[in-house]
Amino acid sequence: MRRSIGLAPALPRRAAGPLARYRPPELEEAAAAFIAHLTSPGDLVLDLFCRSAAFLRPAIRQGRRAIGVGVNPIGLLLAGLEAQPPDRPHTLTAAFTYLGDQPKGERPLRHHLTDLYRARCPTCQADGVAEWFVWDREAGYPYLKAVRCPRCDGVQEGPTDEEDIAAARRFDPKGPPYHYALGRVVPPEHPARERAAELVGLYTPRNLAALMDVTLRLEGLKIGRAARAGLRGVLLEALDRGSSLDPYGEARPRPRTLRPPARFLERNVWFLLERGLDQTTTWLLDRHPLPHAPDLTHLLTESRPAYFLHPSPARRVDRLLPPESVALVLADPPRPDGVFWALCALWSGWLWGDVPLARAMRPFLRRRRFDWEWHRRALQAALAAAATRLRPEGYLVLLFADPTPPLVSSACMAAAGAGYDLVGWGADPDAGCHLVWRWVGRRAAPIDAETLVADLTAAAERRIRSCLQERAEPTSPLLLHTAVYAGLAEEGRLARALATVDHAPADAALLPPLALTAQAVETGLTRVPLRKDEDTGWVWLPTGRGKAAEPLADRVETRTLEVLLSRPEWTTADLLGEIFAPFTGPLTPDLALVRACVESYARFADGVWRVREEDQPRRRAEEMRALEEALKALGRRLGFQVGTGKGWRVRWREGRRDVYLFALSPTAALGPYLLRGRRIPGSAHPCLVFPGGRAELLAHKLRRDPRLARAAAEQGWHFIKFRHLRRLIAEGLDRRLFETMLGLDPIVEQEGVQIPLVLGGEE
Ligand SMILES: [Zn+2]
């Protein structure tokens, strides 16, 4: 390995453009980092489940060649649109106008479509055009409408009238548009015919007629390739929003079932197209064309950076590419999203008709359970095919945003089952998950089932303990889950589970490997005595006072300062990469923590991070010394006996009794005081004095780690900023005032965990 493969610390970007509401966030920056570290210029990068240009773009930008394959032509359409946008926004607008000008009978399509939604304004009865109607599914007619009124101001909402209901019923549900729509998806005798008919039935007859009119005319349009792709993107958005799947009056980001809600929206198709045009144009505004290889042969034989998209199921990639041609496989696995896949199968038929591209989607029409075991098998087949195309020193990187435990399990099982070895990983609820693999052709021998289950359970338990011990702090369930599966993969246990179950005789009555492993992990988990934060679900191992190891958060903070001091200036990517470098796998810190550390110690200006002047070690040390002296002087002035010792920087005593104990810290490391510190005598007030620049980080740590907040409250800690203390000293306060101020101090509020108001207010 060229370097340790930690988390490529970059936040995913929300998907944009057509169908964005179905698509997971994209990890372009993370992909860029893997391409930079794992390949060389001229190398071929394979996007195994291509559905955007997020992996193509960084490959080309770094002088690599890229090929995107995928079975879903809609994913490839969107990738192609981003990679080869129409040369000017105007091109798409002009093509859209041209589409609207196409004749429908005697009139332009645009007028015909608009007229389908003519309705009276519910307020003033003037003739207007409805933006949408609301249908009662059971009653089967629209009862509410929103009309753009030429007389009233804006859109008027109100009940429908008889004319509206008659207009909606004018369309024969089984008329020519219905048969055209159905015939374009599957031929009459096809086994999925009935299912396709159900999907076609997800549109009101009026919207179906309108959408088929547009589809038909778009096909006959004589326009360039990029403009046609752009219009298809626009139409896709209308196909989605124009169905009966969106409810009225409730926020639901996207349909989760293929059944219209009890009250559903019927949106005006022409307005949807206009909106789709705006959206698509905006989306493509900052996209620059990437060099496109004219065909696959050119891409494979020439070394100049270019990309090529090829419709193909990922599991057939071995028929497409020569052996050992790929340096890096990037795979963002499709989610088992039955609704989205079925809709894509429907729309692919409508957009492309009876061509291989769309035919390949027909299997997804069938009602099937998209369960995780199915997902694992499909993914494993794809990864096995890709393995044969990888160069011997090549890598597979599975990376995905919005990681969920089942997705992580499925990905680990699939790669292990396809013969890969895990060589690095990272997981973060916000930044996503990545798993880096090399293909070694691992073959595992089956073992007997009982031994297998016991072995998996024990191994899972060990991994859970070691992960939590290493981190020594509350840990997200996602990271813990990934640590367990990564561990089982590294130890060859997943491959063995697959070999045992997949090749077991039919009467062995074993669960599918994924379920079996999940069960073993669950059992392993329950055997570990865990503490859990009920709000966040984060878990940790209980430890006795004084026995706690240094929490990961404190180690990350130390590392952040070391890295910042090692060079005067840092770009964000370099800085994060360097901070994360030693924290791989189970030690992956959450990006939110690392950002809090960086923002505490460094300032960002002119595109680079520089350590804060006051955090230069010499300056900080001088400040600490001065403060120590000042504290001692203050203590004497207030009539205390002042000393030091027992691990405290300054002690204010009265007789033999400690009254105030001060720890002075330039950092926000709380572990040494709150988790591992010495016992505090009952009479004493422990005070942690820290620089104001640490306040936010300190608050972040207290929020993140409930153990710290609880310990701070139980032990009665006061948190005091340097500057604030200096001001108090300068103002010449007396003992009573000092006590009052500490008394007023809410210390650490259990809820929301705030830095004390009085002693640590805004400065
Ligand atoms: Zn009106």
Whether 45 and 328 have beta carbons less than 8 Å apart is answered as yes
Give residue 671 CA to ligand 1 midpoint distance, Å: 67
pLDDT at 588: 93
**Cβ of 355: how many Cβ atoms within 10 Å?**
13
Q: Tell me, in angstroms, the distance from the centre of ligand 1 to residue 146's CA.
A: 11
Question: Do 597 and 704 share a domain, yes or no?
Answer: no
In the numeric block, the tokens 């196409």 are attached to 102
Closest-CA residue to 495 (of 593, 412, 563)? 412
What is the Å distance from ligand 1's center to 150 Cα?
7
Distance CA 233, CA 585 (A): 39
CA-angle at 215, arms to 212 and 221, nearest 5°: 140
How far, in Å, CA of 251 to CA of 242, rounded?
17
Same domain, 622 and 738: yes
CB 293 within 8 A of CB 306: yes
Task: Cite the DSSP H helix spans in 116-192.
Answer: 162-169, 176-185
Transcribe 591-606 into DSSP letters: HHHHHHHHHHHEEEET
The total of other beta-carbon atoms located within 10 Å of residue 285's CB is 9
What confidence score (pLDDT) does residue 762 get?
Answer: 38
* Strand 155-159 versus strand 539-540 pairing type: unpaired
Please list the alpha-helical segments (H only) found in 21-108.
28-38, 56-61, 73-83, 89-101
Buried b (16+ CB within 10 A) or exposed e, 494-512: bbbbbbbbeebeeeeebeb
* Whether the Cβ atoms of residue 83 and residue 292 lie closer than 8 Å to each other: yes
Calculate Rg over the CA atoms of the chain: 32
Alpha-carbon gap, residue 74 to 240, rounded angstroms: 12
Tokens for 350, please give them.
Answer: 């409508």
> How many A from CA of 430 to the centre of ligand 1?
47
Residue 721 contacts residue 680 (beta carbons within 8 Å): no
Alpha-carbon dihedral angle through residues 477, 483, 485, 488, given to the nearest 10 degrees: -150
Cα dihedral 489, 490, 493, 499 in deg (nearest 10): 70
Residue 61 lies in a domain: yes
Cβ contacts of 105 within 8 Å, gap of 6 or more: 112
State in Å: Cα 267 to ligand 1 middle. 19
Cα of 128 to ligand 1 centre, how many Å?
8
Domain shared by 108 and 246, yes or no? yes
Q: How far is the CA of 272 from the centre of ligand 1 (A)?
A: 22
If asked whether residues 112 and 203 sit together in one domain, one would say yes
3-state helix, strand, coil in the chain (%, to 5): 45, 15, 35
Q: How far is the CA of 125 from the centre of ligand 1 (A)?
A: 6
> Could you tell me if residue 18 is inside a domain?
yes
Tokens of 245: 């799947």
Task: Give the Å distance between the CA of 119 and the centre of ligand 1.
Answer: 11
Give the span between the Cα atoms of 447 and 451, in whole angstroms: 7
Domain membership flag for residue 177: yes
Domains in the chain, number: 4
Tell me, in angstroms, the distance from the centre of ligand 1 to residue 165's CA.
19
Distance from the CA of 278 to the center of ligand 1, in angstroms? 26
Does one domain contain both 683 and 728?
A: yes
Q: Using CA atoms, how far apart are residues 419 and 439, in angstroms rounded to an integer? A: 6
CA distances to 241, 267, 411, 442 from 422, rounded to whole Å, are 41, 49, 11, 11
Position 740: which residue type?
T
Whichever domain contains 700, its CATH number is 3.40.1350
Give the C-alpha separation, 612 to 194, whole Å.
67
Long-range CB pairs of 86-92 (<8 Å, 24+ gap) are 86/224, 86/226, 86/227, 86/230, 86/284, 87/226, 87/289, 89/281, 89/284, 89/285, 91/224, 91/226, 91/227, 91/230, 92/227, 92/230, 92/231, 92/234, 92/277, 92/280, 92/281, 92/284
Please tell me the distance from the alpha carbon of residue 228 to that of residue 94, in angstroms, as a whole number.
Answer: 11
Shared domain check, 567 and 426: no
192 and 261 both lie in a single domain: yes
User: For residue 476, how far is its CA from the centre of ligand 1 (angstroms)?
Assistant: 55
Instruction: Give the Cα-Cα-Cα angle 16, 22, 25 (nearest 5 degrees).
Output: 55
Q: How far apart are CA 702 and CA 81, in angstroms?
A: 46
- Contact of 200 with 208, CB cutoff 8 Å: yes
111 C-alpha vs ligand 1 centroid, how far in Å? 21
398 conformational bin, left if phi > 0, alpha if psi -120 to 50, beta if neither: beta
Structural domain of 593? 552-611
118 forms beta bridges with 129
Token pair recorded at residue 230: 């752009």
- One-letter amino acid for residue 490 of the chain: E
Classify each residue of 424-438 as buried b or exposed e, where b means 16 or more C-beta atoms within 10 Å of its C-beta.
bbbbbbebbbbbbbb
Q: How many Å lie between the centroid of ligand 1 and the Cα of residue 127? A: 8
Write the single-letter amino acid at 116. L
* Ion ligand 1, residue ranges at CB < 5 A: 121, 123-124, 126, 149, 151-152
Distance 145 CA to ligand 1 centre (A): 12
Cβ 66 vs Cβ 60: under 8 Å: yes
The answer to whether the CB of 495 falls within 8 A of the CB of 442 is: yes
Q: Is residue 497 part of a domain?
A: no
Distance (Å) from CA 148 to ligand 1 centroid: 8
Q: Give me the average pLDDT of each 10-residue run along the chain (763 residues).
A: 53 92 94 94 98 97 98 97 90 96 95 97 96 97 97 94 96 96 95 95 98 96 95 98 96 92 98 97 92 96 96 96 97 94 97 94 81 93 97 96 95 96 91 94 86 94 95 95 96 93 73 89 91 92 79 97 97 90 92 94 96 95 93 91 90 91 94 84 88 91 91 87 81 77 47 39 37
Cα 732 from Cα 634, distance rounded (Å)? 9
User: Do residues 247 and 393 both lie within one domain?
Assistant: no
Length of the chain: 763
What token pair was written down for 377? 């098998």
Assessment of whether the complete model's pTM goes beyond 0.85: yes
Task: Compute, in degrees rounded to 10, the torsion defined by CA atoms 67, 68, 70, 76.
Answer: -130
Same domain, 263 and 301: no
Last residue of a domain, one of 387, 417, 442: 442
Residue with tokens 């070895």: 421
User: Where among 389, 412, 442 does a domain terminate?
Assistant: 442
What pLDDT shows up at residue 5? 56
Residue 129 Cα, ligand 1 centroid: separation in angstroms? 11
The answer as to whether 527 is a domain residue is no
pLDDT of residue 743: 55
- Do 438 and 423 contact (CB within 8 A), yes or no? yes
Contact (CB, 8 A) for 561 and 611? yes
Give the domain CATH number at 557. Answer: 1.10.10
101 and 219 together in one domain: yes
In this structure, are 255 and 313 located in the same domain? no
Spatial CB neighbours of 469, under 8 Å, sequence gap ≥ 6? 541, 549
Indicate if 35 and 122 belong to the same structural domain.
Answer: no
Q: Could you tell me the CA-to-CA distances from 197 to 192, 458, 698 in Å, in that order?
A: 9, 50, 59
Within-domain flag for 529: no
Q: Give the distance (Å) from ligand 1 centre to CA of residue 134.
A: 19
Secondary structure (3-state) at 232:
helix
- 761 belongs to a structural domain: no
* Bridge partners for 309 per DSSP: 68
Query: What's the 510 CA to ligand 1 centre distance in angstroms?
Result: 67
Distance 160 CA to ligand 1 centre (A): 14
Q: How many Å lie between the centroid of ligand 1 and the Cα of residue 156?
A: 7
CA of 168 to the centre of ligand 1 (A): 21
Tokens read off for 741? 């101020």
680 C-alpha to ligand 1 centroid (Å): 75
Closest listed residue to residue 267, CA positions, set 155, 381, 178, 180:
155
How confident is the model at residue 351, as a pLDDT?
97
Instruction: Classify residue 546: in a domain, yes or no.
Output: no
Say how many Å lie between the CA of residue 149 and the centre of ligand 1.
5
Q: How far is the CA of 142 from the centre of ligand 1 (A)?
A: 19
Distance of alpha carbon 674 from alpha carbon 289, whole angstroms: 55
19-47 pLDDT per residue, tens: 999 999 999 999 999 999 999 999 999 99
Centre of ligand 1 to C-alpha 132, Å, is 15
* Residue that is last in its domain, among 442, 462, 489: 442
- CA–centroid distance, residue 126 to ligand 1 (Å): 5
